[in-house]
Amino acid sequence: MSEPKPSVTDAGVATLRPPPRHVAIIMDGNGRWAKARGLPRAMGHKEGVEALRRAVEASRDLGLSHLSVYAFSTENWNRPQQEIDALFDLLRLFVKRDLARLHRDGVRIRIIGSRDGLNEDILGLIDEAMNLTKANTKLTLNIAFNYGGRGEIVAAVKQIVEAVQAGRLNPTEIDEAMISRMIWTADSPDPDLVIRTSGELRLSNFLLWSGAYAELMFMDLWWPDFNKESLEKAIDAFRRRDRRFGGLGS
């Protein structure tokens, strides 16, 4: 991956932008990691959880305030039932095994996505994890589970229409800030950087609203191979990018 050199000021001094506050990751490539080793896909997902643990720890170490990870998309219902079951079991296991430690480490867990189609036991675990950790401030970990970016926007639109119909909202008041307050990641800043592993070059319905101006980084490794060094590399490359937001940049 070739990245631009650090921007150079008039004085000839290389400048790095501040590190990202919010990094979002499309954790992709578990199946191919397993296939390359002659293992069942479920083993790839299991190793993927190890990589997630490393990513959370690295994010804390590197001083990020928000990390969002894509764990199960609304389109992933199209997979064989056996694989869906394996992914759901891993979420259960992750919450059961890691919740106490994450809480101790000051991680606030938010599980974002649609509650539709999720079993009562999963919903219970999600609520437990979010309630227990809600006051933590070291790192916010958004786990996108049963998440779809279009569905997130539709849910916001429905809330707005209901408020208008109930007479609580005048349509002239609807603006971008209002939608930002209604999406599932409302209490996180917009992601600065979206990383996708596995080499695929697409967003697959991730953070369509909040990621409108995120820097995109596509990394040529399977998610189970992701480690602190991978995150450092991505952050370093991010800091050399010129973010313009439609203006003329630096």
Residue pair 208/150 in contact by the 8 Å Cβ criterion: yes
- Among the candidate windows 27-35, 102-110, 119-127, 212-220, which touches ligand IPE by CB under 6 A? 27-35
HEC letters along 64-80: CCEEEEEEEEHHHHHCC
What's the CA gap between 156 and 174, in Å, rounded? Answer: 11
Backbone φ and ψ for 141, nearest 5 degrees, come out as: -110, 105
Name the nearest CA neighbour of 156 among 211, 98, 209, 206. Answer: 209
Is 44 buried (19+), middle (13-18) or exposed (0-12) by CB count in 10 A? buried
Task: Give the one entry of ligand IPE, Mg ion, none that residue 87 binds, where binding means its C-beta sits below a cut-off of 5 to 8 angstroms depending on kind.
Answer: ligand IPE
Q: Which stretch binds Mg ion (CB under 5 A): 21-29, 69-77, 87-95, 152-160?
A: 21-29
Task: State the greatest distance between any 2 C-alpha atoms of the chain, in Å, as a whole number.
Answer: 61
**Is residue 226 a contact point for ligand IPE (CB under 6 A)?**
no
Q: Which of 7, 65, 76, 159 forms a contact with ligand IPE (CB under 6 A)? A: 76
- Residue 70 makes contact with ligand IPE by CB under 6 A: yes
Q: DSSP 3-state assignment of 196?
A: strand
Residue 55 found at the interface with ligand IPE (CB under 6 A): no
Q: Which stretch binds ligand IPE (CB under 6 A): 22-30, 93-101, 153-161, 186-194?
A: 22-30
Q: Which is nearer to Mg ion, 21 or 88 (CB)?
A: 88
- In angstroms, the CA 117 to CA 54 distance is 29
Query: Is residue 28 near Mg ion by the rule CB under 5 A?
Result: yes
Among 59, 73, 140, 185, binds ligand IPE (CB under 6 A): 73
Partner touching 26 among ligand IPE, Mg ion, none, CB below 5 to 8 Å by kind: ligand IPE
Please say which residue, 173 or 200, places its beta carbon nearer to ligand IPE: 200
Site residues (vs Mg ion, CB under 5 A): 28
